[in-house]
Structure 1
């Protein structure tokens, strides 16, 4: 009974309509038809006025309301004395909200699970060891946080002791993952069986899981594509229904035919089925490891024709390892590495981490940096121990230190060049191989309509071309500034175009593309802000899954709409002959609505993706890539 009471309170128009319908039926059975008609007419008339006000507001915003059919149907049934049918149409229209909520709740179950998983409270440890429970939102970078067994990690942090974590809500990985002291753990991970402490790397609202939650909330609130889909069908369907109803009246001379046709033209399949399908698609994408900001993005993903990729951290694994230090001009290898690693502390580029990690592994103490600046796509310039240290691309470093010599590189290698006080000091050679699944993903995209694929990178041609060849991409645009990437993405055709980047230096072009997709597995929050979708797993495979889900969702949404339209039109044609009474027609239309909505839930079923988890690929040589 509690559930029934909750339902009746949540949907007052449904409750009131059921009550009025019972009263009208009792009056009619008691031999008071006039009273029944007056009550029904007054009540339905009030609902029509209420609906018309909202419909006019929608029209002023540029959306032609499909509710006009239901309004005309209610008025027509009242006019011809079919007031019970009018109440049933009203019950269907007011009950549409309840039906949509029920279907939407099923469709967005995975999105809701992410929201409910968001940490609310956290235990902060003070410098004297005392503990205090606080709101997770209060955590700041540098705080020491204690996470109990089974609790959700509330903030991105660096572990102070080893532990196992469940990362399934972030990456889809079903097995616990062991992390050691000093490793980073993302917010949203679930702690295993031991108490663990960590140092917060960033404020709670800037941590990875909170960024995901923000994306999910936006996805649930934005219904733009469903409105556009309904708009495409609204005017033609409305005009056809009114013409058919008018024609049936004209040919028969009986105004009852007009009402009998229109009660079968209610718009629930268009108003409800498409939103349910898109919510299902968004939910399915989140389960596949891709958070999509809204249904409009999902629709564009389903129509993609071109793709642009960043290289480092996107087509490559983004985990560069230092394999050689080649000093020049009498410099010492460890000194070149030490100064370069110190300067790279000011860089956000993915290769900086490899240089710093190599220096730390050799036991080199990194000095403090006295002033540093990152020159976008070129390198980093810093003052270290009174010396000016530059680390970056050969052309840029050569402009600061004449006499630079480019290093010969083997397959899969990249180089960062170092200058100290205007003198070329040496080359750092790193290995960053293409992702094992990259070739399979690009091949799948080509086979599924994304024929044009390009690399847009700030690296030099010699760096990008071998990587492109290894993953099956033939078009490369190299040595680009951020503005160049934005321009080329805007000029790329055919459209729509997806841009995939690692989120470090790609925010402008991600925002400029038709669909910007960020590799957010390592918590690049700038990417989440600029991109339309964020891949949570450290893999390109979810990109293909998102495209497949987008196409499947769009197909399901359109099919559910057409199911409703075709069934409605067929029934309207029968009703035009007078074979379907108005009350029976109103009840039958509810079955049409249900069929369309049940079909829309097919968006939750994953499409078949014929893509191997890993594909063989040859390592490619690469040239200087900057910091």
Structure 2
């Protein structure tokens, strides 16, 4: 009963329509549905005209805003059935229109099930271990970095953390789309939103709730669910032609037969619910399917653009490669020692956010070298670092940047896939540090899959040296390369691409501007590049580049199903209109048949949700 009352208040016009219909049945049962006093006719006709006026007011407002929709058919059908005394058909049409909102909400809710599941599973509390050994339950927002938290069996991880116990098993399907639980060892990262296995474990919080992986995903999902993407335009393209055709056919049927009832009978089966509901439901289903596959799409319009993409642009480091380069050589210049160069470089790189900095510091520590603090340090974004280490000015970064401080700086010889960083000390070239960053195992298959999906052109945009980028491009079959780019160079290049729409795939903070500039920006968000994720239209929640191709595939499937649903609705309606034009389908029967058409098109649109697992997908996931 509570459910009925809640929905009655939620859909007042539908509730009123049902009550009017029930009252009409009661009046008819008491003999008040026939002449000379046909109260049922006056009740149904009056209420139908009232609803038609409400629809007409909204229709006029839409037309004044330049939006020609399908309400004209609905209003005309109601008025026509009233005028030809088909008042039962009138109330059925009104029921169909007022029930359309409820039907759309139900279908949209079904299509959004994966998105809603993410929102509903958002952790609300955590069990904090107290210094004395006790446990207190606190709101997740109160968890601080460094807190020790207890995870009970089957409990959702509240914030990002590190595992303190010897081992644990976690279900990360809500984050990655992979149904197989993963094992974690002591010291391994555990992401918020994962579900603990059957054993209680403890973790140390490494991020607050606001900065944890799952909460960022929830924020993205909420934004996606609230987006008012122009997906209905897909149906609106057919609105005016369909309306004109329907009115013309109804007019011809009236003129040929001489019976105005034919006009109403044709319009009854031309009511527009399939076009109004099918496309939004299909796109919401596509977004839900993407979420199930570890991809957050910020609006249905993004899926439509993905389906038409013709060019894909990749950042290199961390996108096509793993982004964790390992040191392969230190090549000191004459007068310098390898350990000296590495120690000074690692000390300066303490103040850098570059992906290579961690590798250099790790290599120095493995050699037992001591990292010394800097008196002053300054990072020049995308170029390098200048630091005062023990009274010596150390400049480290790109060759062109270091050459400004040390004109004798020179390039070092690299083999396939290697990259180098130059070092200068007190204005003298001190040497080069060489590292290698391996290409992702499924990168080539991803690019091949994109090519099969119609994304014919591919490009690498990177700040790395041309030799390194060209080697990666050749290995992966990428057609164009632009190396040694600054963030603004990337934006200019993407805007200049002629084969559009263009997709940009990146992972770092410095990719945020170009992700925003592309027609569709795809951020590899698993590593927590918040700025990139906020600028992007699509966020991949796992460290797996193949999900970029999967997002394009979902875009193709979603648009295909949306168009298919629209054409099914149009085809059935046209067939019914042609039959009704010969007077075969009474108006009341036609209204009921149109409800069947609505259900068929909506059920077809729900196919965009996809299967529980995309078993047909043939690009291997990241190992």
Q: TM-score range by the shorter chain?
A: over 0.9
Query: 1:416 & 1:487 partners in 2: Cα distance?
Result: 26
- 1:67 maps to 71
Task: Say whether residues 1:115 and 2:122 are aligned partners.
Answer: no
Deviation, structure 1 residue 433: 1.0
Query: 1:519 & 1:87 partners in 2: Cα distance?
Result: 52
Residue 252 to residue 52, structure 1, CA distance change in 2 (3 Å): same
Query: 1:300 & 1:395 partners in 2: Cα distance?
Result: 39
1:575 to 573, 580, 594: 580
Query: 2:365 & 2:60 partners in 1: Cα distance?
Result: 67
Deviation, structure 1 residue 386: 4.3
* Number of residue pairs matched by the alignment: 614
Residue 146 to residue 338, structure 1, CA distance change in 2 (3 Å): farther
Deviation, structure 1 residue 610: 5.7
Deviates more, 1:413-422 or 1:290-299: 413-422
- 2:25 maps to 25
Query: 2:386 & 2:51 partners in 1: Cα distance?
Result: 69
Query: 1:567 & 1:106 partners in 2: Cα distance?
Result: 24
Task: Normalising by structure 2, report the TM-score.
Answer: 0.92
- 2:147 maps to 144
- Deviations, residues 392-434 of structure 1 (Å, cap 9, x unaligned): 1112112222222322233332222222333322322222111
Query: 1:398 & 1:355 partners in 2: Cα distance?
Result: 20
Deviation, structure 1 residue 220: 1.5
Residue 557 to residue 539, structure 1, CA distance change in 2 (3 Å): same
Q: Does the aligned pair in 1 maintain the 2:503–2:520 contact within 8 Å?
A: yes
Task: Say whether residues 1:584 and 2:589 are aligned partners.
Answer: yes
Q: What is the correspondence of 1:509-524 to structure 2 with a 5 Å cutoff?
A: 509-524=514-529
Deviates more, 1:494-503 or 1:360-369: 360-369
Query: 2:559 & 2:550 partners in 1: Cα distance?
Result: 14
Residue 309 to residue 59, structure 1, CA distance change in 2 (3 Å): same
Query: 1:370 & 1:178 partners in 2: Cα distance?
Result: 43
2:404 to 391, 399, 402: 399
Q: Does the aligned pair in 1 maintain the 2:333–2:430 contact within 8 Å?
A: yes
- Deviations, residues 249-287 of structure 1 (Å, cap 9, x unaligned): 222222211111111111111111111111111111112
Q: Does the aligned pair in 2 maintain the 1:136–1:154 contact within 8 Å?
A: yes
Query: 1:130 & 1:423 partners in 2: Cα distance?
Result: 59
Query: 1:64 & 1:422 partners in 2: Cα distance?
Result: 69
Q: Does the aligned pair in 2 maintain the 1:328–1:425 contact within 8 Å?
A: yes
Gaps of 5+ in 2: none
Task: Say whether residues 1:545 and 2:550 are aligned partners.
Answer: yes
Q: Secondary structure at the match of 1:197?
A: strand
Residue 39 to residue 563, structure 1, CA distance change in 2 (3 Å): same
Query: 1:31 & 1:475 partners in 2: Cα distance?
Result: 81
Residue 78 to residue 417, structure 1, CA distance change in 2 (3 Å): same
2:620 to 605, 609, 613: 613
Q: Does the aligned pair in 1 maintain the 2:544–2:621 contact within 8 Å?
A: no
1:450 to 445, 450, 455: 455
Q: What is the correspondence of 1:30-45 to structure 2 with a 5 Å cutoff?
A: 30-33=30-33, 34-45=38-49
Task: Say whether residues 1:207 and 2:212 are aligned partners.
Answer: yes
Residue 430 to residue 492, structure 1, CA distance change in 2 (3 Å): same
Residue 615 to residue 96, structure 1, CA distance change in 2 (3 Å): closer
Task: Say whether residues 1:194 and 2:200 are aligned partners.
Answer: yes
Query: 2:217 & 2:99 partners in 1: Cα distance?
Result: 33
Residue 249 to residue 187, structure 1, CA distance change in 2 (3 Å): same
Query: 1:590 & 1:555 partners in 2: Cα distance?
Result: 23
- Deviations, residues 178-199 of structure 1 (Å, cap 9, x unaligned): 4445443332233342332314
Task: Normalising by structure 1, report the TM-score.
Answer: 0.92
Q: Does the aligned pair in 1 maintain the 2:386–2:395 contact within 8 Å?
A: yes
- 1:621 maps to none
Q: Does the aligned pair in 1 maintain the 2:545–2:622 contact within 8 Å?
A: no
Task: Say whether residues 1:367 and 2:354 are aligned partners.
Answer: no
Alpha-carbon RMSD = 2.5
Q: Does the aligned pair in 2 maintain the 1:440–1:615 contact within 8 Å?
A: no
Query: 2:76 & 2:516 partners in 1: Cα distance?
Result: 44
- 2:86 maps to 82
Q: Secondary structure at the match of 1:238?
A: helix
Residue 103 to residue 182, structure 1, CA distance change in 2 (3 Å): same
Task: Say whether residues 1:339 and 2:350 are aligned partners.
Answer: no
Deviation, structure 1 residue 25: 2.8
Query: 1:387 & 1:532 partners in 2: Cα distance?
Result: 45
- 1:558 maps to 563
